[in-house]
């Protein structure tokens, strides 16, 4: 029996991120995480940013960006300074991170090449497929797709009853 889609997606992410993390360990950067690179690369390209602007640039939620920035800060890769608004924090790269940029960039290039190799083995390039999935779910959220199967509002006596005449999910 195949696992649920969420389980399979998490497993793929664990496989890919786990191996990138091993590369960082091999490079003597055990405290550096794969999830740090999009943030670091964005700060290199854009300069200091608020966490909200960083979240938008990287394409993650404010909460996810805030958690990643907190980890980066604890590891000494970024500093946080107050912004123009008391609630706003501006993220800056540290000298430690700037010194590591050649290694981080080399890893990024090697990882990109490894992904291109992986894509050659797939029927559809992974990045393309993920973009298509995001676009499709943004057009019609998964919640709506599930609800259309008639399950919502059909609970009675602790048991979910299927609406008659609806398609199975």
The confidence score (pLDDT) of residue 169 equals 45
The confidence score (pLDDT) of residue 167 equals 46
Q: Read off the tokens for 69.
A: 């920035």
The pTM of the full predicted model, rounded to 2 decimals, is 0.78
The confidence score (pLDDT) of residue 166 equals 44
The confidence score (pLDDT) of residue 46 equals 96
The confidence score (pLDDT) of residue 89 equals 93
- Counting as low any pLDDT under 50, the low residues of the chain are 1, 165-169
For residues 111, 114, 120 and 126, what is the CA-based torsion angle, rounded to 10 degrees?
-30
* 151 alpha-carbon distance from chain centroid: 30
Judge whether 18 and 12 are in contact, CB under 8 Å: no
Judge whether 76 and 96 are in contact, CB under 8 Å: yes
């Amino acid at each position: 029996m195949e696992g649920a889609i969420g389980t399979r997606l998490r497993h793929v992410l664990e496989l890919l991120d786990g191996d990138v993390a091993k590369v960082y360990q091999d490079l003597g950067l055990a405290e550096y995480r794969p999830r740090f690179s999009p943030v670091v690369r964005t700060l290199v390209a854009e300069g200091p940013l608020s966490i909200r602007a960083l979240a938008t640039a990287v394409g993650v939620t404010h909460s996810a960006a805030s958690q990643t920035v907190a980890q980066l800060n604890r590891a000494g890769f970024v500093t946080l300074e107050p912004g123009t608004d008391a609630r706003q924090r501006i993220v800056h790269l540290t000298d430690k991170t700037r010194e590591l940029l050649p290694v981080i960039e080399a890893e990024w290039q090697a990882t990109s090449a490894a992904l291109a190799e992986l894509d050659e083995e797939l029927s559809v390039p992974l990045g393309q497929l993920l973009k298509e999935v995001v676009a499709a779910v943004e057009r019609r959220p998964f919640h709506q797709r599930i609800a259309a199967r008639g399950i919502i509002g059909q609970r009675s006596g602790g048991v979910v009853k299927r609406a008659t005449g609806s398609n199975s999910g």
